[in-house]
Amino acid sequence: MTPAIPRQPEPELMDLDEEAAAYAVADFAEVNDRFVRRLLELVGPVESARAVDLGTGPGDIPIRMVRARPSWHVTAVDGSPAMLDLARRAVEGAGLSASIELVLGDAKALSLPPGGFDVVFSNSILHHINDVDPLWAGVRRLAKPGALVLLRDLARPSSREIAREIVERNSGDESDLLKEEFYRSLLAAYTPDEVREQLDRAGLSALDVEMVSDRHLDVFGRLP
Ligand SMILES: C[S@@+](CC[C@H](N)C(=O)[O-])C[C@H]1O[C@@H](n2cnc3c(N)ncnc32)[C@H](O)[C@@H]1O
């Protein structure tokens, strides 16, 4: 396999107001819907569950999840006050404040109850994080025995040219700011092999890593 280009880290939190706002108005309906369908498929017919979403951003995924499973309770965490404000408005607007609790916090150091969650999920946080070991330790700590985990993120392509092609193919009419962020995010992402090493280090080898599109990898499975 062609070796991937070196990883180029990007800032962890999306805490500039304009950055958060640009992200929130972008049309992620289809990708978010695909994420929720994948989560529902993996979790099966579980009507009632406590879930945690790490790096919830504008909160669209928990809203979709609770609409699909109205008895679920989701704790939605983000470290960016600007993003969490947007999430709060979206959750209140959807009338789902009783089912979705918003928490400002660092996903690498959360003081949420250990073993408190049947489902741990996250979309697009991993590439933001340089010090990944505490994130995976947190996933392990928050999950109940037998919990389902689904973490989806970008995977770093093998060249900058391929990264540009991926951006052009998948960005539609998005703003130049978002296209540039997408490109930088691809370069900041981890490869499937790097993620497998992270999971082994964290004692999470029970989880699988799989490429699910030209740009996304899934980490998924049930913990022992
Ligand atoms: C690309 S956005 C994805 C948002 C959302 N999951 C979605 O799919 O629409 C990544 C989010 O993760 C948040 N984030 C990054 N590092 C974090 C950390 N260590 N703790 C909590 N949130 C973090 C960022 O502030 C941002 O809102």
- What is the 3 state secondary structure string of 197-213? HHHHHHCCCCCEEEECC
Six-digit token string for 21: 């706002």
For residue 189, give the 3-state DSSP assignment. coil
Amino acid in the structure at residue 67: R
154 within ligand 1 shell (Cβ under 6 A): no
pLDDT, tens digit (0-9, with 9 covering 90-100), for 27-79: 788 899 999 999 999 999 988 999 999 999 999 999 999 999 999 999 999 99
- Nearest Cα residue to atom 27 of ligand 1: 57
Q: Is the Cβ–Cβ distance between 135 and 161 less than 8 Å?
A: no
Distance 84 CA to ligand 1 centre (A): 10
Going from the first residue of the chain to its last (224 residues), give the mean pLDDT of each consecutive group of 10, the final group possibly shorter.
Answer: 82 75 74 96 94 97 98 97 94 98 96 96 97 98 98 97 95 85 96 98 98 97 96
Atom of ligand 1 nearest to the CA of 55: 12
Structural domain count of the chain: 1
In terms of Cα–Cα distance, which of 76, 80, 79, 104 is closest to 90? 76
Asked whether residue 34 is domain-assigned, the answer is yes
CA distance 75 to 167: 31
Q: Average pLDDT, whole number, for the chain?
A: 94
Domain-embedded: residue 210: yes
The finding on whether 35 has its CB within 6 A of some atom of ligand 1 is no
pLDDT at 173: 81
By residue range, what is the domain housing residue 35? 17-157+191-222
Q: Is residue 175 part of a domain?
A: no
Give a yes or no: residue 56 inside a domain. yes
Q: What is the pLDDT of residue 23?
A: 66
Q: What is the value of pTM for the model shown?
A: 0.95
Contact indicator for 154, 219 with CB cutoff of 8 Å? no
Tell whether 176 is covered by a domain. no
CATH code where residue 82 lies: 3.40.50.150
In a domain, 7, yes or no: no
CA 138 to ligand 1 center in whole angstroms: 15
Burial track 58-80 (b if 16+ CB lie within 10 A, e otherwise)? bbbbbbbbbeebeebbbbbbbbb
